Structure 1
């Protein structure tokens, strides 16, 4: 079993009052589904989050590193790291390991003064975005995002759009499926939505 665990769709959307991250829950090995209950969106700090598409082990390793660095930053500086600083740190880590890379594509999101969203590829390239998607189903998610994203969307509108984008990828991409993890980050902090809350929005 030398193939990496892979295949997913992650989505990020900036709204006027926060930022939304969503991802499916399927993990696959080649053409085989190994799990339908994998978490791909993670808490980094009170107002910071990460979504990862790619190798599950590499994503978890990077999450542990970033959580430790965020805690160390708080201890040294006395305040939370900004979204931009976390994106830069992620970029530096990935670029520094590019010859033995983390196999993943990462969305960095948060609300530190204002909502922010960055996309970081496995070589450390960073792009600031208003909306984005990553993973094997990204083209299907982008078809929804590009058609329906609006500036100054409310958080509720952003949540519904993110779920719609993941649903589109689930229908067309065999590596995407198994339900949805949905996270919002506002000035009040990080929130992971329950299955009941998500189900209510999808009905």
Structure 2
């Protein structure tokens, strides 16, 4: 009935591809579950990072959004990696958890060598670059933008890698809406000799703007400080907003096509 080379159904109900002489059970393959993330579901928003005089500061809120609903409000999106680096993540929370598991294994294996050497922030960032690019090439990306900050031998390090492996280093970085709202403020106000107090104040200013303008952000934040002495991630805290700005009284004033 069929020409040679076309899949035929044998008496057992499986399919045989005559062109390659190998049984192919299409029924099983079609019913196999998808085991990787096809779309981001529970996501986190912006992560901010700056260098200051004595180290690096990272900041993020603690929201986990299910679509447009802020479903979870105690998600830790800043994680210490080793003793002198911190990773922050935007995007899919479950993918971020998988990345942190890989990093925990990497740091543990490095520690078990007991050779006196430790993975520094530059090596960890390089690992993340290759991890994200490798996943992208398999059409199974981690749906995250990652920020890594650290200090090693007095050298401050701050880098970013996104879901397709694009990476860079800078004195100040941001992901998500922070790229549009916080980076311009960093360009205007960041200095290389910022003190810890000035750096924290600048981050809080940017976090407050993101809280005003990003519907996925909440008023519950953490800031991580990385210095030569180690890593300190703050307890969750809130900022005092000001809703008396004139633009907040009538947000649709002058907007064409508004209600």
With the length of structure 2 as denominator, give the TM-score of the two structures: 0.72
What is the CA RMSD across the aligned residues, in angstroms?
1.8
Q: Structure 1 residues 194, 159: CA separation in 2 closer, same or farther (over 3 Å shift)? A: same
Counterparts of 2:149 and 2:60 in 1: how far apart (Å)? Answer: 13
**Range that drifts further, 71-80 or 32-41:** 71-80
Q: Which runs of 4+ in 1 moved over 3 A?
A: none
State the match for 2:126 in structure 1: 88
- 1:22 aligned partner: 59
**Pick from 97, 107, 115: which aligns with 1:70?**
107
**Per-residue deviation, 1:152:** 2.0
| Greater share of residues in helix | 1
Q: Map 1:154-169 onto structure 2 (within 5 A).
A: 154-169=195-210
Q: Which residue of 2 aligns with 1:47?
A: 84
- 2:166 maps to 1:128: no
Partner deviation per Cα, 1:150-176 (whole Å, 9 max, x = no partner): 112122221221121111111101011
Larger strand percent: 1
Shift of 1:62: 0.2
d(CA) in 2 for partners of 1:25, 1:38: 5
Q: Deviations 1:3-46 (Å, cap 9, x if unpaired)?
A: 51124111000112110010011111121110121111001111
Distance 1:195 1:39, change over 3 A: closer
Query: Residue 135 of structure 2 is aligned with which of 97, 102, 110?
Result: 97
Larger radius of gyration: 2
SS at 1:150 equivalent:
coil
In 2, Cα distance between equivalents of 1:90 and 1:47 = 16
In structure 1, C-alpha distance between the alignment counterparts of 2:107 and 2:195, rounded to whole Å? 28
Larger RCO: 1 or 2 (CA < 8 Å, sep 6+): 1
Structure 1: which 5+ residue stretches go unaligned? none
Contact 1:137 1:176 (C-alpha < 8 Å) held by counterparts = no
TM-score w.r.t. the length of structure 1 is 0.91
Q: How does 1:56-67 map to 2 (within 5 A)?
A: 56-67=93-104
Distance in 1, matches of 2:118 and 2:239, equals 33
